[in-house]
Amino acid sequence: MPKQRRLAAAIALVCALTALAVPGTAFADPAPTPTPTPSTTAAAQPRTLEEVGKQIDDLYRQAAAATDAYNLAEEQTKQQSAQIVQLAQEIVKGQEKIKRLKDQAGATARMQYRNGGLPPGAQMMLSGDPETFLNGADALRQGQQAAQGVLGELNRTQVDLAAYSKDATAQWKNLEANRVKKEAAKKDITEKIAAAEKLQDQLKEQEKQRLAELERKKEFDSQTAWLSTGILKEINSSASDQGKKAVKFATDQIGKRYVWGAAGPDTFDCSGLTSQAWIAAGRGIPRTSQEQWAQLPHVAIKDMRPGDLIIYFADATHVGMYIGDGAIVHAPRPGRTVTITGAGSMPILGVVRPDK
């Protein structure tokens, strides 16, 4: 059987083992979102343009959190799929090894059968030739050790094969769990974005323009307040060589559309942009803004340098790359494009450095 077919058979075997190991187990779809009652719907309706803007921002923030959950589940799915393939390859190797060892053991049994069913030691004793007995004793001992070695290796290989199958079964369960997480996050993202877009579509053109002005003013006021602390006087570190490469990659993407779950080359979400920029600089980093915050080294704001990542909001659901002079490049949200804005235009959680 060609190796590809054996690998496919091993993967099918793993699937069967999973089904047998967890009889009756099923992964249910996430519970549907309850339909709002008339009272809660009425309470949620914004009354002023400022309230409309806040509700839209809140919906996009919730979509960003769901996007992080989706991206994390996607990354874990890729890793688990690779592990399942590797385990399946090990299962194929183990099956081939067991067949080879059994063939060796069978050859020994067939030889004994041809010799009248007597073991080699008994045959030498019955030969009546002391010299034959003495000459063959060492060979007999070596043969016994070899036979014991074959049996021992066969047992170890069978134990390994059982362990690989158990690990593969666990990975299949994790894979299915992450599939459910991805589908739930995807549903949440699309619902939140649709709700935000519906609110925007209900506005008149003049209201849309006024809302855009309010958003720009909010960002300007936040940036001005941040700069008024004198923080730029303290921020004077130069970019590393890798940081310069990361900044160049990120700024080269300016004008490309935001799409949730995207990591290039034509569209990006916020962490898709920063992770790809650092991959282009030769340093792989976590895919999501929350994992970037959790896993990368933290630095003080006053010590940050171009190429560092600024994590925003208390739940770490947005990230931008510092490019110097109090500015970041980032992929803002659906309906927007990669752009440059003030580093202090959103609430800063902290700063992380991929190449520290």
Angle, in degrees to the nearest 10, between helices 49-114 and 130-201: 160
Contact 42, 193 (CB under 8 A): no
Under a CB-based contact definition with an 8 Å cutoff, are residues 60 and 211 in contact? no
Distance CA 101, CA 159 (A): 14
b/e code 297-319 from CB counts within 10 Å (16+ = b): eebebeebbbbbbbbbbeebbbb
3-state secondary structure of 230: coil
Active-site annotation holder among 330, 332, 333, 351: 330
Closest CA to 48 of 166, 214, 237, 160: 214
DSSP string, 6-38: HHHHHHHHHHHHHHHHSTT---PPPPPPPPPPH
Residue 319 dihedral angles phi and psi, to the nearest 5°: -145, 145
Q: Which has the closest alpha carbon to 185: 319, 177, 129?
A: 177
Q: What number of other Cβ atoms are within 10 A of residue 103's Cβ? A: 10
Is 298 a known active-site residue? no
Exactly one of 69, 270, 309, 328 is catalytic; name it: 270
Residue 282 makes CB contacts below 8 A (sequence gap 6+) with 242, 245
- Among candidate residues 192, 318, 333, 353, the one labeled active-site is 318
The counts of H helices and E strands in the chain are 10, 8
Q: Edge-to-edge, what's the strand order for the sheet holding 327-330?
A: 298-299, 348-352, 309-312, 318-324, 327-330, 339-342
d(CA 182, CA 186): 6
Question: In which element (H, E) is residue 352 found?
Answer: strand 348-352
Where in the sequence numbering do the catalytic residues fall?
Answer: 270, 318, 330
